[in-house]
Amino acid sequence: MSDGVWVTDGLMDAEIVYNFSTEVMQKILTEPPEENRELLDEVNKLLSAYKRGQRVVDSSLISEELTLQRVTRPVEPPPHFFKNDYAIISDDVRAILEQFNLGQTAFKTVTLVNPFKKTRHPNYNILNVCEVKDAVDVESSRGLRKRGHLASYNFTPTENDAIAVRHIALEGADLWMDLTINGAFFVSDRLHAALQNARLFKRPRFVRCRVI
């Protein structure tokens, strides 16, 4: 059992988006839209399932190579944690995660291809968080922004103790999603400490939750 909880907007942080795309997305982006409407629907369904904490890494729609589509910032070497459609982590980050209780969370080993620099980086993984806890207490939290008519919220992690979680958050897996907050990853105190000590990345930003 953990004694603390931290949260990050790992799937929503625009500062860590790098444009590595699957083979299917390359096809969708480069061919006439009318030729790939059904394929795009399948891809969107897969992404939606991923964001709900379902296992998707076995899908044939996710290739073993992800190719950089355009250069918007230096990417050599790629960072240890970034996202485009999925969260991508290095083998170094994966090694840390695998020391903890991950429950059903899964990985898919991928190679990152940069056609502009003609480089390949094989030591990366798609992180598929498959643990979901219903622990966020909306009424006791600050800074949550309702997502229209949806039953979820957006949150920018700028201060500790703004998000309140119930005691159930301390039980079970050390890494999980809570569908109350869109695109967020939660980690236990001990996993957060391990990531901080490794100093592999500065973003995404983690803030401490208040346990009630």
pLDDT in tens, 25-65: 988 888 888 888 999 999 999 999 999 999 999 999 999 99
> How many other C-beta atoms are found inside a 10 Å radius of the C-beta of residue 211?
19
Q: Is the dihedral of CA 45, 50, 53, 58 positive or negative?
A: positive
Task: Using pLDDT thresholds of 50, 70 and 90, give the confidence band for residue 110.
Answer: very high
Report the length, in residues, of the chain. 212
pLDDT score of 146 = 93
pTM score over 0.85:
yes
Q: Where are the domains of the chain?
A: 5-11+131-211, 18-99+109-127
Provide the pLDDT confidence category of residue 19 given band limits of 50, 70 and 90. Answer: confident
Structure tokens at 84: 């485009």
What's the whole-number mean pLDDT along residues 184-207?
A: 96
Predicted local distance difference test score (pLDDT) of residue 14: 86
Cα–Cα distance for residue pair 85/12, rounded to 1 Å: 10
| 1, pLDDT greater than 60 | no
